[in-house]
Copies of this chain bind each other. A is one copy, B any other.
């Protein structure tokens, strides 16, 4: 079992919720200001794992996080899906009419814009994080101020939820990955998903040929994303996730794909948690 996990943000953040789901409550949380810093902690062996949002149903893939995993040769060892729900919260005994200012991350404010149109007395102010505003409201006893954060943040910082699920798009499913320096712990019997990266020359049918091998070997594609390589015109990188029932089939596909593609790389082999 690991001792510590680095997350982007502070306790009460969505990354913290994912850590609780995945690791339980016995692991130390290493709060980091950015994904870059969390990865640095992992590389310096200050922590044993990092949790990283990797894609969501509103914005798609978070390419800079793929790049962090890829460029530092880290391993994806697991995944978690979370439906992101934003709640408006404040000190107890405050009503929504008492709130004059709400501080939050620009993305959270944007996602809740429609709700705040119905509350014209509230001024929206950008802040660097969602959960840290909740923390500040508690520690400084800030009246008339609201935060947009998770139910976990409301519990941790003893705030009262004034309005639930105030984001405009009601479902924002976000996929998080658990990342380590190496992977030598998952029993083969548990592996039924893999994240792959490969490059192809821009030749007609080259991707179709790769997908045919995957299909022939009974791999199911759950994600595909092309990314042009800027330094090398007409060369493309692909990030692909596959699920499978039989590890033998996956190993066979991997052996063939390695020969067909350039720079074929396994970013992680782990257990699928999406059913």
Determine whether the beta carbon of A231 is less than 8 Å from that of B171.
yes
Q: 8 Å CB contacts to B: which residues of A190-245?
A: 202, 204-205, 207-208, 211-212, 214-215, 218-228, 230-231, 238
A226 to B172, CA, bound (A): 16
By beta carbon, the residue of chain B nearest A36 is: B113
A150 to chain B, nearest CB (A): 19
Chain B residues, CB < 8 A from A173: 228, 230
Tell me, yes or no, whether A182 is within 8 Å of chain B by CB.
no
Chain B residues, CB < 8 A from A220: 202, 204
Chain B residues, CB < 8 A from A171: 230-231
**Which residue of the partner chain, among B63, B202, B211, B228, contacts A211 with CB atoms under 8 Å?**
B211
Tell me, yes or no, whether A126 is within 8 Å of chain B by CB.
yes
Determine whether the beta carbon of B230 is less than 8 Å from that of A207.
no
Determine whether the beta carbon of B218 is less than 8 Å from that of A204.
yes
Determine whether the beta carbon of B223 is less than 8 Å from that of A226.
yes
**Which residue of the partner chain, among B208, B214, B238, contacts A215 with CB atoms under 8 Å?**
B208
Determine whether the beta carbon of A225 is less than 8 Å from that of B60.
yes
Known contacts A60-B63, A63-B59, A211-B211, A226 near B224 by CB under 8 Å? yes
Q: 8 Å CB contacts to B: which residues of A62-103?
A: 63-64
Tell me, yes or no, whether A61 is within 8 Å of chain B by CB.
yes
A212 to B213, CA, bound (A): 12
Tell me, yes or no, whether A186 is within 8 Å of chain B by CB.
no
Chain B residues, CB < 8 A from A208: 208, 211-212, 214-215
Chain B residues, CB < 8 A from A207: 211, 221, 224
A171 to B63, CA, bound (A): 16
Chain B residues, CB < 8 A from A218: 204
A275 to chain B, nearest CB (A): 9
A191 to chain B, nearest CB (A): 18
A166 to chain B, nearest CB (A): 18
Of the A-B pairs whose beta carbons lie under 8 Å apart in the complex, a sample of 28, sorted by A's number, is: A57-B227, A58-B63, A59-B64, A60-B60, A60-B61, A60-B63, A61-B225, A126-B126, A171-B231, A172-B230, A173-B228, A173-B230, A202-B222, A204-B215, A204-B219, A204-B220, A205-B212, A207-B211, A207-B224, A208-B211, A208-B214, A208-B215, A212-B212, A221-B226, A222-B228, A223-B228, A224-B238, A225-B226
Given contact pairs A58-B64, A60-B227, enumerate 6 new A-B contacts (beta carbons under 8 Å): A59-B64, A171-B231, A173-B230, A202-B222, A212-B212, A224-B225
